[in-house]
Chains A and B, each alone.
Chain A
Amino acid sequence: MVVVNTPSDSPDDRMRWDIFCKVIDNLGDIGVCWRLARQLASEHSAAVRLWVDNLDRFSNLCSAVTPQSTTQHVDSIEVCRWPALFPDIEPADIADVVIEAFGCDIPANYLTAMNQRQVAPIWINLEYLSAEDWVEECHGLASPQSHSPLKKYFYFPGFTPQTGGLLREKGLLEERAAFDEVARKEFWKTLGIPAPATEELRVSLFCYENSALRGLLNDWAAGCEPIGLVVTSGLAARRVSDWIGEPLSERGIVRRGSLTMYGIPFLSQWQYDRLLWSCDVNFVRGEDSFVRAQWAQRPFVWQIYPQAEQAHLAKLDAFLSRYLNSFPDLCGVRDCFYSWNGFGKMAESWRKFTENRQLVEQHGKVWARQLDQTGDLANNLDRFVRGNLGIPLL
């Protein structure tokens, strides 16, 4: 018999969380889950177990992860392999809160044990980020089952107080504000990249397949302004290498006209934040780097995860409507985002965007302050869960 709305029966007082994550075609999903897991553990005293189906890929993002280990502790998180055949689990071993990230279906035998648990766990479906209006209406709603008291709650990250907000670690904005010129120079040194020269525009590149990339590289190489392009490892480095005609290796430097390209190794999340803080403009993609670019308060250009039949355009539009709501878009932000996503002339919109870079940066600071008022996702989620379990807030 399942009982609902009673406090945790965990042997220690910490609330136990199980997060299930499947590594899809890139590291965005696990990137979000890893941030969330660490925040819940470090800021909300949670005992977090993170189930990941591909520890090999995860170890790229977090070098402390040993792919061969079935269970291991990393940064006080219990990281577990999510095997294809999930082992039977005792109801008492089910966490107080179960998160299925991005609609990954949790294993059937785990679900059975959830139903048998004496205290029904809070079951959360953590969704992808979207700025669309309908997200506000659906955020936090329960998805009940036909013959079980278990309820799955849909939890939507977002840009307004009517959503779950965005992941932002405690102290992130203070660290960002304290990241001065000295820290920036030190960071470049750790990457083996010279600090930007006075006239240079330093740009970071993280992208999916992108039809506008070659044209932009051509323009940068042929232009008058010196551009220092820091190319993230993986797809971006491969496509830039294709354009160069030779591999851009990790820590490699290649020059073409006014364009100097720097290869870098795979960065940890902590390092990637510093890269975003150190560049004048950041090209970002998907969800996690997109959110971090907003907290970086530097001009950024977003490549949204492409979908069949242009289904992603509504999401892009919705974000731009919110982002540019209080900012008369004389700076070509909208054009630049659209061009980078395959709809427009990148050379023209880039020129306008960079000419107005200072204004875009100022707007970025205002925007980040606005986002900060929605509260951060981990904190909002913790409050949501405690509210549903009837447990007082910490």
Chain B
Amino acid sequence: MSVKIAGELQSGNVIIVENSPVVVLKAQYNKSGRNAAVVKVRAKNLMTNRISELIFKADEKLEGVMLERKECTYSYYSAPNHVFVDADFNEYEIDEESLSDITKFLTSDMTDVCEVTFYEGRSISVVLPKTIIREVEYTEPVARGDTSGKITKAAILKETKHELQVSAFVEIGDKIEIDTETGEFKRRCT
């Protein structure tokens, strides 16, 4: 058992709510003007699998749960679950809903080392590395003359078809680095 500050909640954290463990699927911080800083949380109750949206003051102290974590790699998709495998080739299934924010980056050939979280032996969430590299399947032709990176355009990733904004100089087939926490393009690798 541990104390979790609401403002520091991240996907994959497990907290106790009304005596039940809930896993955070998404946490969104909001603050402006005189309003209290708040965190809107999309969470799944691990006992009932019910998903709900909650809100906390950012400075609220919540009861966290110490969890077991393992390094794994992505293996394959078997509807409705994604399967991850550890160094001893043990397989762990996690349903699509629990991976809501990262499925857009899961590809069959990915070698990224992910962190799988377990609650009472059950795999409940996955955190990707801080940055990952993915291939651009399609983007509009390069806008000539601009190499500053300030002008952006849409690009579609190979396999997942996820669309994101990239610098104008990025081309089809380029490998790009993506920040998995923000989901934003960081730089071109090739």
- The 8 Å CB contact of A128, one of B33, B40, B54, B55, is B33
Comparing A33-41, A45-53, A132-140, A365-373, the segment that makes contact with chain B is A132-140
**Which residues on the B side are within 8 Å of A7 (C-beta)?**
none
In the bound complex, do residue B18 and residue A149 qualify as a contact, i.e. CB atoms below 8 Å apart?
A: yes
Contact with A along B25-41 (1 / 0, CB 8 A): 00010111111101010
Nearest CB in chain B to that of A154: its residue = B55
**Which residues on the A side are within 8 Å of B53 (C-beta)?**
141
Nearest CB in chain B to that of A148: its residue = B18
Distance A130 CA – B34 CA, assembled complex (angstroms): 9
**Which residues on the A side are within 8 Å of B31 (C-beta)?**
311
- The 8 Å CB contact of A304, one of B33, B36, B52, B57, is B33
- Contacting B at CB under 8 A, from A141-187, are 141-149, 154
- Contacting B at CB under 8 A, from A279-307, are 304-305, 307
**Which residues on the B side are within 8 Å of A304 (C-beta)?**
33
Distance A128 CA – B33 CA, assembled complex (angstroms): 9
Q: Say yes or no: is B119 at the interface (Cβ < 8 Å to chain A).
A: no
Q: Say yes or no: is A375 at the interface (Cβ < 8 Å to chain B).
A: no
Contact with B along A77-107 (1 / 0, CB 8 A): 0000000000000000000000000110000
In the bound complex, do residue A127 and residue B35 qualify as a contact, i.e. CB atoms below 8 Å apart?
A: yes
Q: Say yes or no: is B85 at the interface (Cβ < 8 Å to chain A).
A: no
In the bound complex, do residue B54 and residue A142 qualify as a contact, i.e. CB atoms below 8 Å apart?
A: yes
In the bound complex, do residue B18 and residue A128 qualify as a contact, i.e. CB atoms below 8 Å apart?
A: no
Q: Say yes or no: is A222 at the interface (Cβ < 8 Å to chain B).
A: no
In the bound complex, do residue B54 and residue A305 qualify as a contact, i.e. CB atoms below 8 Å apart?
A: no
Nearest CB in chain B to that of A314: its residue = B32
In the bound complex, do residue B36 and residue A127 qualify as a contact, i.e. CB atoms below 8 Å apart?
A: yes
From DSSP, what is the main secondary structure of chain A's interface residues? loop
Contact with A along B55-74 (1 / 0, CB 8 A): 11100101100000000000
In the bound complex, do residue B33 and residue A307 qualify as a contact, i.e. CB atoms below 8 Å apart?
A: yes
Distance A214 CA – B58 CA, assembled complex (angstroms): 39
**Which residues on the B side are within 8 Å of A103 (C-beta)?**
36, 57
Nearest CB in chain A to that of B53: its residue = A141
Nearest CB in chain A to that of B19: its residue = A147
**Which residues on the B side are within 8 Å of A307 (C-beta)?**
33-34
- Contacting B at CB under 8 A, from A300-346, are 304-305, 307, 311-312, 314-315
In the bound complex, do residue B54 and residue A144 qualify as a contact, i.e. CB atoms below 8 Å apart?
A: yes
**Which residues on the A side are within 8 Å of B56 (C-beta)?**
143
**Which residues on the A side are within 8 Å of B33 (C-beta)?**
128, 130, 304-305, 307, 311-312, 314-315
Distance A315 CA – B32 CA, assembled complex (angstroms): 7
**Which residues on the B side are within 8 Å of A143 (C-beta)?**
54-57, 60
From DSSP, what is the main secondary structure of chain B's interface residues? strand
Distance A134 CA – B36 CA, assembled complex (angstroms): 13
Question: Distance (Å) between the CB of A152 and the closest chain B CB?
Answer: 9
Contact with A along B95-113 (1 / 0, CB 8 A): 0000000000000000000
- The 8 Å CB contact of B32, one of A125, A147, A312, is A312
Distance A222 CA – B59 CA, assembled complex (angstroms): 51
Q: Say yes or no: is B154 at the interface (Cβ < 8 Å to chain A).
A: no
Nearest CB in chain A to that of B52: its residue = A142
In the bound complex, do residue B16 and residue A147 qualify as a contact, i.e. CB atoms below 8 Å apart?
A: yes
Question: Distance (Å) between the CB of B37 and the closest chain A CB?
Answer: 10
In the bound complex, do residue B40 and residue A138 qualify as a contact, i.e. CB atoms below 8 Å apart?
A: yes
Nearest CB in chain A to that of B34: its residue = A128
In the bound complex, do residue B38 and residue A154 qualify as a contact, i.e. CB atoms below 8 Å apart?
A: yes
- Contacting B at CB under 8 A, from A102-126, are 102-103, 125
In the bound complex, do residue A130 and residue B17 qualify as a contact, i.e. CB atoms below 8 Å apart?
A: no
**Which residues on the B side are within 8 Å of A147 (C-beta)?**
16, 18-19, 63
Contact with A along B149-179 (1 / 0, CB 8 A): 0000000000000000000000000000000
Q: Say yes or no: is B15 at the interface (Cβ < 8 Å to chain A).
A: yes
**Which residues on the B side are within 8 Å of A148 (C-beta)?**
18
Distance A137 CA – B33 CA, assembled complex (angstroms): 17
Nearest CB in chain B to that of A318: its residue = B32
Nearest CB in chain B to that of A139: its residue = B55
Distance A146 CA – B20 CA, assembled complex (angstroms): 8
Distance A143 CA – B40 CA, assembled complex (angstroms): 9
6 nearest CB pairs, A to B: A141-B55, A315-B33, A146-B63, A103-B36, A134-B30, A128-B34
Q: What would be 21 A-B contacts, judged by CB atoms less than 8 Å apart?
A: A125-B36, A128-B33, A128-B35, A130-B33, A132-B30, A138-B38, A138-B40, A141-B54, A142-B54, A142-B55, A143-B54, A143-B60, A144-B17, A144-B54, A146-B15, A146-B18, A147-B16, A148-B18, A154-B38, A312-B33, A314-B32
Given A103-B36, A144-B17, A311-B33: 16 more A-B contacts, CB < 8 Å: A125-B36, A130-B35, A137-B40, A141-B54, A141-B55, A145-B17, A145-B18, A146-B18, A146-B19, A146-B63, A147-B16, A147-B63, A154-B38, A311-B31, A314-B32, A315-B33
